[in-house]
Amino acid sequence: MSRPHAIPSAAAIGLHTCHACGLVLRVPPQLRQARCPRCHAGVHLRKPDSITRTWALLIAAAILFIPANLLTIMETHSLNSTQRDTILSGVVSLWNGGSWPLAMLVFFASIVVPMVKLISLTFLLLSVQRGSTWRPLERARLYRLLEFIGRWSMLDIYVITLLSALVQLQSFASVSAGPGSIAFGAVVVLTMLAAMTFDPRLIWDALDQGHG
Amino acid sequence: MSTNVSIDAKDHDRSPHPSPLPLGEGEQGFRSFHNSVIVCHECDQLQRKIALPPGGAATCCRCSALLYRNRRATPASSLALLLAAAIMFVLANAFPIFSLEMHGIRNATTLFGAVQALWHKDMPLISALVLFTTILAPAVELSTFIGVLSLLHFRRGCQALPWLLRLILVLEPWSMIEVFMLGVLVSLVKLWHMMNIVPGIALWAYAALMVLLAAATATLDARELWDRIPLRA
């Protein structure tokens, strides 16, 4: 694979970029904790401990993903029965109720997106740790996609919040949040944090080192 | 290896602080250099800046990340849109989103009411998460953004400007009004067939808020304001 650009990465010629404001900086090597002269953020060549922190958050999210899917996230009490829904059974009952576009939407936001995030971030971390030079552009795009879709998983949390606040019709029907919703909320927050701590520059560093 | 950047290593020893490129030249020299080079925030690729036609956008030559734009809209129009959005945000939080009726019982809730209900039902974590992502983060982000734009508009310098701008960027991913709006729609459809639903004022306010926020993000990204913050070298 040939390197397409004569111009190197900023780090390869010793230039720092402020991660908060984008200012291009030259940092004296003896300076340990540099601050950006424009925005006062700490200046790093790469996000600090990116791989370790992302692994930690990702593993925590993966563990919580199990109770998030197995425990009930919503309980519906009516006159003579109590229905306990997990994420998946909620989707199934939406599908059976005839609102299949909605079922698809919830299925996508609550099940597909978190799973795609967990699997893709694991893949990105492993590929970066192995120093892979395989399809960096596609991996960079995958990362961009993860950052964009992550927030939409919160959908189910908001639906549960609204339903449990509104459907309080004494003995006829009432809805309350189940313990699964806590685990699910934690998965969404942790995967968002994991995507934020991952440094996409690492994807390209392997190419620079291979040819520099 | 040919580069467009000149680096003199000697300067490293003189300056104990990180310095914007290039060192040792005057204010003018810094400007001309700063405007000619950009580093991709996603792949660290150093590249020349090019002039863009109005409405154009520059993407990274290596990873195709969006680098900068030449906006048609002025920051003043973004400020107007954000002020309108702030009014809608207040309305959206002050009034019930929708109410439902079944067997003569009527229930309505505001967003904060829903957050409170969760809190009292032993779901403090979820309650706090919803409070933060739908009320606190958007409120602080909106008001800070309006403050920063007003300061810049009236050309008032302010020590806190860089901090305020960083606050906006930190809160940005956690402010999830548009996701909440989708949640409202999903809840509406879920309840539609079993109960009588009356849309509240907040529902319309949220719809207007969505449009205004989308318009505001189309006219300005907070990151673009960094260029207007003076450097203290």
Question: What is the per-residue pLDDT across A110-148, written as a single tens digit (0 to 9) for each?
Answer: 999 999 999 999 999 999 999 888 899 999 999 999 999
Q: For the domain that residue A69 is a member of, what is the CATH number? A: 1.20.140
Q: Read off the pTM.
A: 0.88
Do A147 and A163 sit in the same domain of this protein?
A: yes
If asked whether residues A32 and A54 sit together in one domain, one would say: no
Residue A23 is nearest to which of B20, B121, B123, comparing CB atoms? B20
- CB neighbour class for A124 (10 Å; exposed up to 12, middle 13-18, buried from 19): buried
CA dihedral B163, B165, B170, B173 (to 10 degrees): 170
Burial of B154 (0-12, 13-18, 19+ CB in 10 A): exposed
Q: How far apart are CA A167 and CA B135, in angstroms?
A: 22
For Cα atoms A177, A178, A181, give the angle at the middle one, nearest 5 degrees.
Answer: 85
**Cα-flanking dihedrals φ and ψ of residue B48, to 5°?**
-75, 140
Any A CB within 8 A of B12 CB: yes
Does residue B111 come out as left (phi exceeding 0), alpha (psi in the -120 to 50 range) or beta?
alpha
Q: What is the rounded average pLDDT for all residues in chain A?
A: 89
Q: What is the pLDDT of residues A146-185, one digit of tens each?
A: 999 999 999 999 999 999 988 887 677 888 899 999 999 9
Asked whether residue A66 falls in the same domain as residue A158, the answer is yes
Claim to verify: residue A40 and residue A54 sit in the same structural domain: no
Tell me: do A103 and A203 sit in the same domain.
yes
Nearest Cα to Cα of residue B43 among B71, B75, B65:
B65
Higher-confidence position of B135 and B159: B135
Q: Nearest-CA distance from B108 to chain A in Å?
A: 6
pLDDT tens-digit map of B202-230: 999 999 999 999 999 888 888 888 888 87
Higher pLDDT, A87 or B51: A87
Task: Kindly determine whether residue A9 and residue B186, on different chains, have CB atoms separated by under 8 Å.
Answer: no
Say yes or no for a CB contact (<8 Å) between A37 and B17. yes
Q: A94 and A193, same structural domain?
A: yes
Which band of pLDDT confidence, cut at 50, 70 and 90, is reported for residue A12? Answer: confident
Nearest CA in chain A to B61: A5
Percent of chain B with pLDDT over 70: 84
- Which range among A8-17, B13-22, B97-106, B129-138 shows the weakest confidence by mean pLDDT? B13-22
pLDDT of residue B72: 85
Both A78 and A165 in one domain: the answer is yes
Is B18–A97 a contact, with Cβ atoms under 8 angstroms apart? no
Per-residue burial over B206-216, b = 16 or more CB atoms within 10 Å of its CB, e = otherwise: bbbbbebbebb
Distance CA B184, CA B204 (A): 12
Q: How far is A122 from chain B (nearest CA, A)?
A: 19
pLDDT per position as a tens digit, B29-42? 344 455 678 899 99
Question: And the tokens for B147?
Answer: 């403050």
B50 touches chain A (CB under 8 A): no
Mean pLDDT within A83-88: 92
Q: Per residue in B110-138, is it b (16+ CB within 10 Å) or e — as a string?
A: bbeebbebbbeeebebbbebbbbbbbebb
Total domains in chain A come to: 2
Residue A194 shares a structural domain with residue A139: yes
**Contact list, A106 vs chain B (CB under 8 Å):** 186
* B191 neighbourhood in chain A, CB within 8 Å: 163, 166-167
User: Between the ranges A37-41, A196-200, B44-48, B190-194, where is the mean pLDDT highest?
Assistant: A196-200
Q: Which of B6-10, B73-77, B134-138, B180-184 has the lowest mean pLDDT?
A: B6-10
Confidence at B16, pLDDT banded by 50, 70, 90:
low
Q: Residue B105: helix, strand or coil by DSSP? A: strand
B73 vs B13, residue with greater confidence:
B73
Q: Are residues A78 and A109 in the same domain?
A: yes
Q: DSSP states of A94-136 as a string?
A: HHHTT-HHHHHHHHIIIIIHHHHHHHHHHHHHHHHHTT--S-H
The verdict on A203 and A106 lying in the same domain is yes
More confident residue, B129 or A33: B129
Q: Which position has the token pair 């960027």?
A: B169
pLDDT at B80: 95
Range of the domain at A112: 48-211
Q: What per-residue confidence (pLDDT) applies to B29?
A: 39
Tell me the residues of chain B between 71 and 130 that have a Cβ less than 8 Å away from chain A. Answer: 97-100, 102-103, 105, 107-109, 113-115, 117-118, 121, 123, 125-127, 129-130
Residues 6+ apart with CB under 8 A from A92: A103
CA A64 to chain centre: 14
Assembly ipTM: 0.90
Two tokens at B88?
């809608």
Tokens of A114: 């978190």
Same domain, yes or no, for A70 and A5? no
